[in-house]
Amino acid sequence: MSDIIRLLPDHVANQIAAGEVVQRPASVVKELLENSVDAGATRITLVVKDAGRTLIQVIDDGRGMGPADARMCWERHATSKITQADDLQAIRTKGFRGEALASIAAIAQVELRTRPAEDELGTRVVIEGSRVKLQETVACAEGSSLSVRNLFFNVPARRQFLKSDSVELKHVIDEFQRVALAHPEIAFDLLHNDNEIHRMPAGQERQRIVHVFGRKYEERLVPVEEATDFVSVQGFVGKPEFAKRTRGEQFFFVNRRFIRSNYLEHAVRKAYNELLARDNYPSWFLFLELDPAQIDINIHPTKTEIKFRDDRTVYAIVHAAVRRALGRHNLTPSLDFEPEPAIMSAFAGMPSVPTVAPITPAPVWRPNDIGQAPNPSGWQRLFDLPDQAPVKQHNEQLPGTPTPDRIVPMRELDERIGTRAVFQLHGRYIMAQLKSGFVVVDQQRAHERIVYESALRTLERGSGPSQALLFPVTLELNAADHALLLAIMPELRALGFDLEPLSGRSIVVNGMPAEGANDDAGRLLDQLLEQVKNERGALKAERHATLARSMARSMAHSHGSMLNEAGMHDLIDRLFGCEMPYFSPGGKPVLITYGLKELDERFER
């Protein structure tokens, strides 16, 4: 039998290994930025073109490399961070495996220009698909400039699986922000297609958070500071009133390395007990410092997963630090600000701290009616229920299409709606009389359904009514929101927003959708972008549904909005003019009917 097992060529092995390290342009950004941080840079500039497909360039003023190191750094498992396995117990640098540059060089065309401070001339190295094409001496600035062009040029299947430029750019910005937040002492710049997205001078942690997320965060942050012999926790958490319904502003850093941890997330959210609804997420930016021997970061190539040797102690200290910070700022009840028992007992085996199951992320939310053919037939029958018809209990879920005995013609229904008395209950519900009972309409959900279907029709037409603002509003957005807004600008204009991009990350709002002309422009756009972030679909129809759903949530009458009789009649008329009036865009009931028979039974008639 012939031998069938062979060693793969180095360039093939490198391409395979690259799949673990480089999934998308953002992976390259992360690795190169971390290398610049490890090189002791004080200013780092990231230049990106076409969301990283065409070019990713990182320029720093770090230590630079001599000719030998400039060539050796591209070999697999070549690193300056460790020399033996025991060094992993004291690792404080970002990188240590020696895999990143070799993986990047295997699937891209790269060029390195580097010069240490003590040398007059630098070194230029050009590599394509793991093969060194050129090495020469050149004049260049102190530090390093590394360019990665045509990512996945020799792995076309991987390149085809990349998402749209707007999606990939969002991931690039996310990775950039994580490194920038971890190192406020370093100045960072980010340019995309020659447009400046970020320019952040060196400063303090609070200043860096404000630079990344906007000036409005200056008033939203509560400082956290707790130090023990085991671990120190410092940073900021958001005030409960500014919590959002989507994730995205939750950051843990351990020894200045960004990590993800459901366990620590549970500790923070538990500190917000009774302050937030379960589906709201506060912001936090927490920095943990502890002995590297107490953690294991060599778990995954991305190094965002981590294991603590004593996770119960870390959990207790993080939870106590956040709760104490909230209490100190009069956000939670607190009788005394001495160190909490949880911290004092952290070093006694922690018998009182239960093991906490990791949080399971909520399923991706999709409305029940997306993708289904509308079936408006049958809604007229609500206003002509037979006297003896069986009536559903008010706590049962409404069926998709009611099946009463007969259909009332539209003309007859219009006459009945116009003549029946209606009134509002607690600013939340509208009640109207039926032939054999009454109907209760949730006014917020009803308005959501109306706005949702109106927005969908507007997006399908490609244009909608807009009302010019007497005084245009200028908004300053953070980088992620600005990139997202530019990506959905055609749809926003179709919905009626008259937007004009300015230099940097500023947007001028000259007009608003007619439906929301009286709303605050900044608040409406902020809510719209926040709801779109985690619901962006690749298909045009799904993207339109997401925008329409977000518009509906942002512009719907909130609970407590008082309506006069004409307004209530108008809302009911518009609701029953919808294709699917029974359910909100989220699939929840909009109205409930009660029959006279049910009332008779309650009164024991």
Is 50 exceeded by the pLDDT of residue 373? Answer: no
Question: Which of these ranges, 151-155, 215-219, 403-407, 467-471, has the smallest mean pLDDT?
Answer: 403-407
The answer to whether 521 touches 554, Cβ cutoff 8 Å, is no
Q: What is the mean pLDDT of residues 458-469?
A: 81
**CA quadruple 6, 11, 15, 17: dihedral positive or negative?**
positive
Convert 268-283 to b/e letters by CB count within 10 Å (16 or more is b). Answer: bbebbeebeeeeebbb
The predicted structure's pLDDT at residue 148: 96
Is residue 505 predicted with pLDDT exceeding 70?
A: yes
User: Residues 343, 320: contact at Cβ < 8 Å?
Assistant: yes
Q: Amino acid letter at 415? A: E
pLDDT band of residue 548 (cuts 50, 70, 90) is: confident
What whole-number distance in Å separates Cα of residue 484 and Cα of residue 169? 9
19: pLDDT strictly greater than 60: no
What domains, with CATH codes, occur in the chain? Answer: 10-200 (3.30.565.10), 206-344 (3.30.230.10), 374-605 (3.30.1540.20)
How many Cβ atoms are within 10 Å of 373's Cβ, its own excluded? Answer: 6
CB 197, CB 483: distance < 8 Å: yes
What is the pLDDT at residue 28? Answer: 94
Average pLDDT over all residues of the chain = 78
Share of the chain above pLDDT 90, in %: 30
Which has more pLDDT, 245 or 451?
451
Distance CA 172, CA 190 (A): 10
pLDDT of residue 209: 95
Mean pLDDT calculated for residue range 160-168: 87
Q: Which of 150-154, 168-172, 381-385 has the lowest mean pLDDT?
A: 381-385
- Complete DSSP assignment for 194-213: TEEEEEE-S--HHHHHHHHH
DSSP code of residue 519:
S
> What are the pLDDT digits (tens) for 388-433?
333 333 333 333 333 333 333 444 444 444 456 788 888 888 888 8
Q: Using 50, 70 and 90 to split pLDDT, how confident is the model at 56?
A: very high
The Cα 288–Cα 267 span in angstroms is 14
Cα–Cα nearest to 481, from 429, 536, 407, 426 = 536
pLDDT reported for residue 158: 83
If you write DSSP's letter for every residue of 242-274 in order, what string do you get?
Answer: G-BSS---EEEEETTEEE--HHHHHHHHHHTTT
Q: Which SS3 state, helix, strand or coil, does residue 192 take?
A: strand
DSSP-H helix ranges across 365-509 = 410-419, 443-461, 479-487, 489-495
- For residue 101, which of 61, 49, 62, 144 has the smallest C-alpha distance? 144
Q: Is the pLDDT of residue 581 over 60?
A: yes
Greater model confidence, 343 or 217 = 217
Give the pLDDT score at 549: 80
Quickly state the pLDDT bin for 87 (edges 50, 70, 90). low
Separation between Cα atoms, residue 74 and residue 470, nearest integer Å: 59
The mean per-residue pLDDT over the stretch 189-203 comes to 92
| Other CB atoms within 10 A of residue 317 CB | 25
Mind listing the pLDDT tens digit for each residue in 277-286?
A: 777 889 999 9
| Least trusted range by pLDDT, from 5-19, 210-224, 490-504, 510-524 | 5-19
pLDDT at residue 147 is higher than 50: yes
Helices then strands, counting H and E runs in the chain, come out as: 18, 22
Q: Judge residue 17's burial from the number of C-beta atoms within 10 Å of its C-beta, 0-12 exposed, 13-18 middle, 19 or more buried.
A: middle
What confidence score (pLDDT) does residue 405 get? Answer: 34
| DSSP E strand boundaries for 490-540 | 498-501, 506-513
Question: According to the model, what pLDDT value does residue 95 have?
Answer: 58
* Residue 362: pLDDT over 70: no
Residue 318 binned pLDDT confidence (cut-offs 50, 70, 90):
very high
pTM for the model stands at 0.66
- Across the beta sheet with 429-434, what order do the strands follow? 422-425, 429-434, 437-442, 591-595
pLDDT of residue 225: 93
Residue 381's SS3 state is helix
Enclosing H/E stretch for 35: helix 25-38
Can you tell me the distance from the alpha carbon of 160 to that of 106, in angstroms, rounded to the nearest whole number? 17
